[in-house]
Structure 1
């Protein structure tokens, strides 16, 4: 997987007897998981837009995507995680 090799990860292991191949496999797995989590579509599904100007909460991923991609931020609009 060569999607994002520029990522810095700090991996803390409680077992110092792991082989180099096992550690490399674990880091590749973390890259795979983080790649899917960080995709814009998945991000927009897990977040909502809170607009205090209109006193509304938008959960539609299209509306959240527009707010995230906007270059100039509007005052009193917040992106919040649904968890």
Structure 2
């Protein structure tokens, strides 16, 4: 399974109890990072996204097609990566 690079990240965590101790918060952040590493894969990215190629009037949905597009340094003009939500 291939994972996307995410070595450094900033997380904004909202808690109900403002008096949570630092160790509990650190544990919570570690658990969130473990969860996110499992879900942030190329496979799940390709399931949740598609590419609109306006110049060729087509929608790219296959994993191999999406992978080629996202590996480019810049998108070609009139190509849009869209979340399916």
TM-score of the pair, normalised by structure 1? 0.78
Aligned length: 81
Change (3 A) 1:72 1:5: closer
Is contact 1:51-1:76 (8 Å) kept?
Answer: yes
Residue of structure 2 equivalent to 1:74 = 76
Structure 2: any 5+ residue segments left out of the alignment?
Answer: none
User: What is the aligned partner in structure 2 of residue 51 from structure 1?
Assistant: 53
TM-score normalized by the length of structure 2: 0.76
Gapped runs of 5+ residues in structure 1? Answer: none
Displaced runs of 4 or more, over 3 A = none
CA RMSD, 1 decimal: 2.1
Determine the structure 2 residue equivalent to 1:22: 24
In structure 2, do the counterparts of structure 1 residues 11 and 43 end up closer, same or farther at CA, with 3 Å as the change threshold? same
